[in-house]
Structure 1
Amino acid sequence: MHEMSLMESVVEIACETAEKAGAAKVKVIRLDVGVLSHVDPDALLFCYEAIRRGSLAEEAELRINRVAGEGWCLDCGKTVPLAERFGACPECGQYHVQMTAGDELKIRDLEVI
């Protein structure tokens, strides 16, 4: 389960950022998780419960925003929704689609106090 190491990094980054800002604790962590990222949001939440204990994020709420898959079709020149990696363009049917969204995992922002 790679979600455990991902959450360890997220909590570490959040706590370091809070410390640098002179905050006493992290109140909210907001993550963007792409639907095509192969990261399970439920597993992230499960791991978060274990990882946050004893840290500045111990009482913080984790909010996960799912980011839809999107790509740019090199053949028809359109931005199109993607339901799968390396899928065909829903407009023209060609497979020359460059993914532009949906595979990310990033901290959108933090609330600290």
Structure 2
Amino acid sequence: MHELSIATAIIEQADALARADGTEAVSAVTVRVGELSGVVPDALDFAFEVARDGTALASARLVVEQVPAQAWCAPCAEEFAVGMPPFFWCPRCDQPSQDLRSGRELEITGIEPILGSA
């Protein structure tokens, strides 16, 4: 379960970012997880709960924003859903796409301090 190592890295990075802002306690960490990132959101949430024990984020919750995979079709000048398993053929013109616009994200987008901790 590689989500445990990802959760540990999220906790370490969120803790460092919070401390840099003068925050001592974090109530929530928001992450964006792309559909094609290889990360299972439920497994990441479980791993986060396990990994946070004994850290400065011990009471923090993980908020996962799922990002659908979208590709760009140049001939149609439109984005289309890639789906899972991924299918990179435009449903409108039946041409292949090599331009993935979203779906591979794995990033921290927000850290919410516990009120009164900053």
Task: Indicate the RMSD between aligned Cα atoms, in angstroms.
Answer: 1.4
Q: Is the 8 A contact 2:30 2:62 kept in 1?
A: yes
TM-score, normalised on structure 1?
A: 0.90
TM-score, normalised on structure 2?
A: 0.87
Aligned equivalents of 2:97, 2:33: Cα separation in 1: 24
Q: Percent identity?
A: 34
Q: Runs in 1 of length 4+ with deviation above 6 angstroms? A: none
Q: Is the 8 A contact 2:31 2:109 kept in 1?
A: yes
Instruction: Give the AA of the match of 2:88.
Output: G
- CA shift, 1:38, in A, is 1.5
1:89 counterpart SS class: coil
Residues 1-16 of structure 1 aligned to structure 2 (within 5 Å): 1-16=1-16
Aligned equivalents of 2:91, 2:49: Cα separation in 1: 39
What are the ranges of 5 or more consecutive residues in structure 1 without an aligned counterpart? none
What are the ranges of 5 or more consecutive residues in structure 2 without an aligned counterpart? none
Q: Does 1:70 align with 2:70?
A: yes
Aligned equivalents of 1:86, 1:2: Cα separation in 2: 25
Partner of 1:98: 99
Aligned residues: 113
